[in-house]
A and B are shown apart, each in its own frame.
Chain A
Amino acid sequence: MTTDAPTASAELGETVINIDRLNKWYGQFHVLKDIDLNVKRGERIVICGPSGSGKSTLIRCINRLESHQEGTITVDGIELTEDTKHINDIRREVGMVFQHFNLFPHLTVLENCTLAPIWVRKTAKKEAEEIAMRYLERVKIPEQANKYPGQLSGGQQQRVAIARSLCMNPRVMLFDEPTSALDPEMIAEVLDVMVGLAEDGMTMLCVTHEMGFARKVANRVIFMDGGQIVEQNEPEAFFNNPQNERTQLFLSQILQH
């Protein structure tokens, strides 16, 4: 079923994430079936597929928010096992942005950004604040640094969430439908930040149905259905010439709107 991945272009570096024959069950329910995926440094992958196809589950396995039963996941040369030390080592290097932002409501924007650098990386507070301000500028909301998340719009909150992840200086960023909880006029400001990240060479795995974004920045688009990777290809070929009929159906449904 799986078509071959496009040959990695020359500028892509070494493997950052390697997933080998990954299987996962929720009780009796087989959510992920024989997933093979190799992500190179600097690669930008968009994952799409119908609801319930296992997209979230797949990327949540990469930082062990979900555990898997079979197969191996290797991130940055470290294999994910029960070993909590490995899990924490990996989580430090992998940033994640959630659909519902999940900012800490009791901390200011700045404190949200400095919490992990201070407590996990043991960065000095002043230095962590300087770094945080740099990233808040990058997502274009330095003036909100001392507000609480509840005082910001959805788009602003999501940009803070991106800045919060970037403050840990991750090697990979995972995005789980980062714009699908946002009003249309706020989607653009978040996508702009993500495009900027891609241009700076960040390795990204992004679950999204923003096909414009996929065309613009992805090296590869992956289509999942029923817990399997059904098809993957470069964006041009994926959108213009989908091979599998499930992909064709899915694309025709989402492109209709």
Chain B
Amino acid sequence: MTQNTRIPFHRDPAVRAIAAQVVALLLVIYGLYSVFENTVNNLVARGMQTGTGFFDEVAPFKIGFSPFLDFSLGETTYLEVFFIGIQNTILIAVLGIIAATLLGFFVGVVRLSPNWLASRAALGYIEMFRNTPLLLQIMFWNFAVFLPSLPAPKNSIEMGFVYLNARGIHVPTPVVEDSTGLWIWMALLMALCIGLYRFARLAKARFEETGERLPVFWINILGFLAGGYVLYFVAGSPLGWDTPELGRFNFKGGGQLPLPMFSLWFALTVYTSAFIAENVRAGIQSVSHGQTEAAHALGLSRKDTVNLVVIPQALRVIIPPTISQYLNLTKNSSLAVAVGFEEIVALWAGITLNQTGQALIIIAMTIAVYECLSLFTSAVLNWYNRRVQLTER
């Protein structure tokens, strides 16, 4: 009966879906356009310039921390300031992500420990750091903990050639004394890495052939450290060290990690690790008890059960929410403004904006930086996630 009747187009789900999307897209484009036009008109009406002319002007302020691009007052341009800001943001994000992941996994596993005290302690840690604002925590660590408890530069805590004081950590920095030697060392290190890689492959083949296991991971780490050390002398010790020395008021020479950076890194790590720990707990608990029982019944040891059965399945649950924690950490690093660490928001959307008044372009560029960082992070992790998920079927 209904075989020949065609669905009227306004009831066809495919047509309706496309129509709805076209309408939504048009609305968004119109909205963005009117905001843009409005802003430009307003700026022009107030006599404010928009443009990139200020990029090549010299920035009239000092930047304390720029480990990758040399900063010299009176020479560095605004555009270079922008890149210093990006580098510092990336640096703090990478350091924070690494530390938060390690700490988060540790706390998440302890949270599930059969030891009542350990599990409660982990719970307390998670609840405490998840439930207070990050800004408050950053200020707490910086102003209430590290700043008052660390001595003035002349009473620095000395650890070898490393000095710790209320301004930060002073470390020796390597200086190239013999650049051919450095290249030789780099080449030797490359060869060492290839060798260790070959060794890992051989060990795997041997394991598949004879079932004998070697602690490949530890052998590789030790081999790299010890081998790298020996090869350094083989290459004729190509590096010298610029060691920090106490001057009249502060240290000269060497490199300095400013205290605000350390406080920010510490706070971001602790805060984000609490969320990651919860993801880890949920992931591990999502693996049914039957899985561990089956593995135990086959005679697999506790460690092998965790590594071969529980973790591969838990990762599929852990990774997606952890990606968004990484993105949060990156964005939260902008709270550095509170303690004065010089990342992109402080340097670019803060000082530079105040100096030049170029709000539109500066804010747009800052947004673009975060957008790129976030898209890059999620692209990498989604790729990894797909690999983990695909093994299901």
Bound Cα distance from A95 to B213, whole angstroms? 24
Q: Are B298 and A91 touching (Cβ within 8 A)?
A: yes
Q: How many whole Å from A40's CB to the nearest CB in chain B? A: 22
A165 surroundings in chain B (CB, below 8 A): 297-298
B304 within 8 A of A: yes
Task: Indicate whether A126 sits within 8 Å of B208 (C-beta atoms), given known contacts A105-B313, A119-B308.
Answer: yes
Q: Are B308 and A91 touching (Cβ within 8 A)?
A: no
A98 within 8 A of B: yes
Q: Are B209 and A126 touching (Cβ within 8 A)?
A: yes
Q: Are A124 and B300 touching (Cβ within 8 A)?
A: no
Bound Cα distance from A88 to B295, whole angstroms? 11
B297 surroundings in chain A (CB, below 8 A): 63, 65, 91, 94-96, 98, 165
Q: In B269-316, which residues have CB < 8 Å from any A CB? A: 288, 290-291, 293-301, 304, 308-309, 312-313, 316
Q: In B214-252, which residues have CB < 8 Å from any A CB? A: none
Q: How many whole Å from A157's CB to the nearest CB in chain B? A: 12
B211 within 8 A of A: yes
The listed residue with most A CB atoms (<10 A of its CB), out of B211, B295, B301, B308, is: B211
A92 within 8 A of B: yes
Q: How many whole Å from B204's CB to the nearest CB in chain A? A: 10
Q: In A45-89, which residues have CB < 8 Å from any B CB? A: 63, 65, 88
A116 surroundings in chain B (CB, below 8 A): 298-300
Q: Are A91 and B211 touching (Cβ within 8 A)?
A: no
Q: Are B290 and A102 touching (Cβ within 8 A)?
A: yes
B391 within 8 A of A: yes
Q: Are A123 and B299 touching (Cβ within 8 A)?
A: no
Q: Are B393 and A150 touching (Cβ within 8 A)?
A: yes
B212 within 8 A of A: yes
Q: Which of B209, B290, B299, B312 is in CB contact (< 8 Å) with A98? A: B290
Q: In B307-354, which residues have CB < 8 Å from any A CB? A: 308-309, 312-313, 316
Q: Are B392 and A119 touching (Cβ within 8 A)?
A: no
Q: In A131-166, which residues have CB < 8 Å from any B CB? A: 147-148, 150-151, 164-165
Residue of A whose beta carbon sits closest to that of B206? A124
Bound Cα distance from A153 to B308, whole angstroms? 24
Q: Are B211 and A124 touching (Cβ within 8 A)?
A: yes
Q: How many whole Å from B293's CB to the nearest CB in chain A? A: 6
Q: Are B208 and A124 touching (Cβ within 8 A)?
A: yes
Q: Are B211 and A98 touching (Cβ within 8 A)?
A: no
A168 within 8 A of B: yes
Q: Are A119 and B209 touching (Cβ within 8 A)?
A: no
Q: How many whole Å from B57's CB to the nearest CB in chain A? A: 57
Bound Cα distance from A116 to B298, whole angstroms? 6
SS class, residues of chain B in contact with chain A:
helix
Q: Which of A102, A103, A106, A123 is in CB contact (< 8 Å) with B293? A: A102
A237 within 8 A of B: no
Q: Are A106 and B299 touching (Cβ within 8 A)?
A: no
B210 within 8 A of A: yes
A118 within 8 A of B: yes
Q: Are B304 and A119 touching (Cβ within 8 A)?
A: yes
A246 surroundings in chain B (CB, below 8 A): none
Q: How many whole Å from A242's CB to the nearest CB in chain B? A: 32
Q: Are A88 and B211 touching (Cβ within 8 A)?
A: no
Q: Which of B209, B290, B291, B299 is in CB contact (< 8 Å) with A120? A: B299
Bound Cα distance from A200 to B213, whole angstroms? 34
A125 within 8 A of B: yes
Q: Are B294 and A102 touching (Cβ within 8 A)?
A: yes
Bound Cα distance from A124 to B213, whole angstroms? 11
Interface size class of A (residues with CB under 8 A): 20 to 34
Q: Which of B211, B288, B291, B312 is in CB contact (< 8 Å) with A123? A: B211
Bound Cα distance from A118 to B206, whole angstroms? 12
Q: Which of A104, A120, A122 is in CB contact (< 8 Å) with B309? A: A104
0/1 interface trace, chain A 2-21, chain B, CB 8 Å (1 if under): 00000000000000000000
Q: Which of A98, A118, A124, A151 is in CB contact (< 8 Å) with B393? A: A151
Q: How many whole Å from B284's CB to the nearest CB in chain A? A: 14
Q: How many whole Å from B385's CB to the nearest CB in chain A? A: 14
Task: Indicate whether A92 sits within 8 Å of B299 (C-beta atoms), given known contacts A100-B290, A102-B290, A105-B313.
Answer: yes
Bound Cα distance from A91 to B293, whole angstroms? 11
Task: Indicate whether A120 sits within 8 Å of B298 (C-beta atoms), given known contacts A65-B293, A104-B309, A105-B313.
Answer: yes
A230 within 8 A of B: no
A91 surroundings in chain B (CB, below 8 A): 296-299
Task: Indicate whether A106 sits within 8 Å of B300 (C-beta atoms), given known contacts A119-B308, A122-B212, A126-B208.
Answer: no
Q: Which of B291, B299, B391 is in CB contact (< 8 Å) with A88? A: B299
Q: How many whole Å from A161's CB to the nearest CB in chain B? A: 8
Q: Are B291 and A98 touching (Cβ within 8 A)?
A: no
A190 surroundings in chain B (CB, below 8 A): none
By a beta-carbon cutoff of 8 Å, the part of chain A in contact with chain B is 63, 65, 88, 91-92, 94-96, 98, 100, 102-106, 115-116, 118-126, 147-148, 150-151, 164-165, 168
Q: A65-B293, A88-B301, A120-B301 are in contact. List 15 more A-B contacts (CB 8 A).
A: A63-B297, A98-B290, A98-B294, A102-B291, A116-B299, A120-B300, A122-B211, A122-B212, A122-B213, A148-B393, A150-B393, A165-B297, A165-B298, A168-B298, A168-B299
By a beta-carbon cutoff of 8 Å, the part of chain B in contact with chain A is 207-213, 288, 290-291, 293-301, 304, 308-309, 312-313, 316, 391-393
28 contacts between A and B (CB under 8 A): A63-B297, A65-B293, A91-B296, A91-B298, A92-B299, A96-B297, A98-B290, A98-B293, A98-B297, A102-B290, A102-B293, A104-B291, A104-B294, A104-B309, A105-B313, A105-B392, A106-B312, A106-B316, A106-B392, A120-B301, A120-B304, A121-B211, A122-B211, A123-B211, A150-B392, A151-B393, A165-B297, A165-B298
Q: Which 7 A-B pairs have the closest CB atoms?
A: A122-B211, A125-B208, A102-B294, A116-B298, A92-B299, A96-B297, A91-B299
